[in-house]
């Protein structure tokens, strides 16, 4: 099957079919001419225009003109535009602290099940963070995965808080805890 992929790509697929496959990874390709890659482009503009300190809360041109899905998918771009790269780095650091804490609880839990749950929560939060930031900077396809603890969305926030609550419970009930 792997040997057939180059043959399919070069001799069977038409250009429009190739563009459908490549579009999520290359924002310059718009296979339907409907502006499907418009928001990723606006996201990169917003992040670049924020520079180090940002335009000020509520003063971002991209986010205030509704060029971005500012409460959900592209919240990281809004943070970058309005609060700057310093705030973006702070968001990453804070999320890393939570993820590292989940791993540390897993290591110190004293049970295999507790460790696996904590590592799973850390992986879950890491993937969501990587995917959301990656799609805002144009490195990942737009999938609608929220930025943990920041993006708007009650069901997503509830799940994130629930999983961190489970990690806290594992820490409290670890073997050897007083």
What tens digit of pLDDT does each residue of 107-120 get?
988 888 989 999 99
Residue 30 has pLDDT above 70, yes or no: no
Residue 177 has pLDDT above 70, yes or no: no
pLDDT of residue 111: 87
Whether pTM > 0.85 for this model: the answer is no
* Lowest pLDDT segment from 56-60, 133-137, 139-143, 153-157: 56-60
Contacts of 138 (CB under 8 A, 6+ apart): 27, 40, 43, 44
Residue 36 has pLDDT above 70, yes or no: no
Mean pLDDT, the chain, rounded, equals 81
pLDDT of residue 92: 92
Instruction: Give the total residue count for the chain.
Output: 178
| Long-range Cβ pairs for the range 82-87 (8 Å, 24+) | 82/50, 82/54, 82/55, 82/56, 82/57, 82/58, 83/50, 83/53, 83/54, 83/57, 84/50, 84/51, 84/52, 84/53, 84/54, 85/50, 85/51, 85/52, 86/52, 86/53, 86/54, 87/54
Percent of the chain with pLDDT over 70: 80
Residue 173 CA, distance from chain mean position: 31
């Amino acid at each position: 099957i792997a040997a057939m992929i180059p043959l399919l790509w070069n001799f069977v697929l038409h250009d429009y079919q190739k563009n459908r496959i490549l579009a999520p990874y290359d924002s310059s390709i718009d296979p339907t001419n409907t502006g499907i890659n418009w928001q990723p482009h606006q996201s990169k503009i917003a992040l670049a225009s924020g520079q180090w300190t940002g335009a000020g809360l509520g003063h971002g041109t991209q986010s205030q003109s509704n060029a971005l899905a500012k409460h959900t998918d592209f919240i990281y771009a809004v943070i970058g535009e309005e609060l700057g790269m310093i705030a973006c780095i702070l968001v990453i650091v804070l999320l890393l602290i939570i993820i590292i804490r989940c791993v540390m609880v897993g290591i110190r839990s004293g049970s295999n099940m507790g460790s696996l749950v904590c590592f799973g929560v850390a992986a879950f939060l890491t993937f969501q963070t990587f995917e959301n930031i990656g799609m805002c900077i144009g490195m990942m396809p737009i999938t609608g995965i929220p930025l943990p603890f920041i993006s708007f969305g009650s069901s997503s926030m509830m799940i994130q808080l629930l999983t961190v609550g489970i990690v806290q419970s594992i820490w409290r009930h670890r073997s050897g805890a007083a």
